[in-house]
Structures are given as structure tokens and as C-alpha cells.
Amino acid sequence: MSVIASIEIAAEDFSFGGALAADTGLRIRLERVVPMGSTFIPYFWVEDGSIEHIERSLESDGAIESVDVVDSLNGESLVRVRWEEDLDGLLDAMVETGAVILEGTGEEGRWTFQFRFPDHDALTDFYRQCIDRNIPLDLQSVHNPGLPESMGLGLGVTDAQREALLLALDRGYFDVPRRINLTDLSSEMGISDTAVSQRIRRGITSILAATLPEADEGSH
């Protein structure tokens, strides 16, 4: 089943974000983006008064082939950017995991994305690939599109718990038989095995409480 994840990334950590939102003070909204191989032609909305600034900023980037305004509506302009080559590891990770950008907003040096992934394994693989490529991610929430977002897997799970759960899932801690133990996980995370165990247990408890409608505090 497909999953939707909300993720924050610093603009400086990937080329596309840096080219569009570095120190501009602007708010940029991406249209849906589906990467096709090495092709990446995003469409995004900006305020009409900022078009010239955006064009100058983008055209100064060596990876830009062209910048065109294709539509205007309600004080905003829809801009199309053609890139000459692959941007960086973020695009590669999207292509390799089948990710689709449903929404993307850049402002004040940070981008917030809503990605759709084919399944949880694809999300885990995307997370791992970004970390391996030195693109830090802040996972805000994860949910199945068939369920209300209020029941999403991110509800009540702290950033530290998400990190421990994603790493444990990626390294095979939940596999049968297990491919990694708590000691090795704790060594990789740089914290005690007790701390890892508590983060995993509490994270799972929060997920179950959020996704099982009949769960109550007495069942914890």
C-alpha cells in the first residue's frame, strides 16, 4: 500500500532547493513532480512581483537550461524550469524509489515536501539513500492515504523515535530472523542499547495507539 510522508530538508542540502530558495526571502510552491529518469522539469508558483528576481537567480545557476513563465493567476505566476542535467542525490533517490512530490514549499532556507511512495519499504530506502548522500531529512509524519491523516504513523512519535524506528526497519531489526541486534543498532546510533530499545518501544506504542481505533490508555 502506498504511503505519504511529510519531510523537511534544508535548502542548502540539495541543489534544487538552494537554487530556488537560498536567501531570497520568497515563498515558492511546487506543482506535482514525477521524475522520469534523468529528466526533471519542475513547475512552481511565485508571487508576480518576484518573477524577475527568481529568473535572475535561476539563470545564474549553471545547471539551468531555461526559465519560462507559463501562466498567471490571482497574483501568482507559474514558472517552468528546465534543468540541463541531474540535480543531485535527492533526485536520484526519488527515481530509484518511485517517489512523487505531491506538494513542495520553500521559504526561509527550508523546504517542506509531501512525497508519495509505493510502500513503506520505498520510504525506508529513500530515507537511507538520502542519509548516505549526506542529505539530512526531518521526517514530520507518515500515513496511508486510505486512512485519515489524524491516524497517521507520525502521530505522537518523536523525531528521535522516528530515527530509531526507520534505522531498525532498514537494518532488519524486525525481520525474522533478525539481521541486526540492539547492540549493533546502538553502536550505529551512538547511544546506549537501552535508549534504542526505549525509543523503539515507545515509538511502536504511539503508532499502535494512533492506528488501532479501539486502543485505549488502559491497553498500553
Facing residues of 94 across strands?
none
pLDDT tens-digit map of 47-80: 766 777 777 776 666 667 777 888 888 788 888 8
Q: Where are the beta strands (DSSP E) in the chain?
A: 3-10, 28-30, 43-47, 64-73, 76-83, 100-107, 110-117, 138-143
Number of CB atoms found within 10 A of residue 11's CB: 22
pLDDT at residue 100 in the model = 83
Residue 192 pLDDT more than 80? yes
User: Is beta strand 64-73 parallel, antiparallel or unpaired with respect to 76-83?
Assistant: antiparallel
pLDDT at residue 131 in the model = 85
pLDDT at residue 102 in the model = 83
> Domain 149-219, what fold?
Arc Repressor Mutant, subunit A (1.10.10)
For 9-22, what is the mean pLDDT? Answer: 70
For 205-214, what is the mean pLDDT? Answer: 68
pLDDT tens-digit map of 78-112: 888 776 655 567 878 888 888 888 888 887 778 88
Contact 135, 12 (CB under 8 A): no
pLDDT at residue 98 in the model = 86
Say how far apart CA 77 and CA 64 lie, in whole Å: 19
Residue 104 backbone dihedrals phi, psi, to 5 degrees? -155, 130
pLDDT at residue 155 in the model = 54
Q: How confident is the model at residue 133 (pLDDT cuts 50, 70, 90)?
A: confident
Residue 37 backbone dihedrals phi, psi, to 5 degrees? 60, -125
Q: How confident is the model at residue 19 (pLDDT cuts 50, 70, 90)?
A: low
**Lowest model confidence (mean pLDDT) among 28-32, 91-95, 161-165:** 28-32
Say how far apart CA 123 and CA 142 lie, in whole Å: 9
Q: How confident is the model at residue 147 (pLDDT cuts 50, 70, 90)?
A: very low
For 118-122, what is the mean pLDDT? Answer: 86
pTM reported for the whole predicted model: 0.57
For 115-129, what is the mean pLDDT? Answer: 87
Domain residue ranges in the chain? 3-143, 149-219
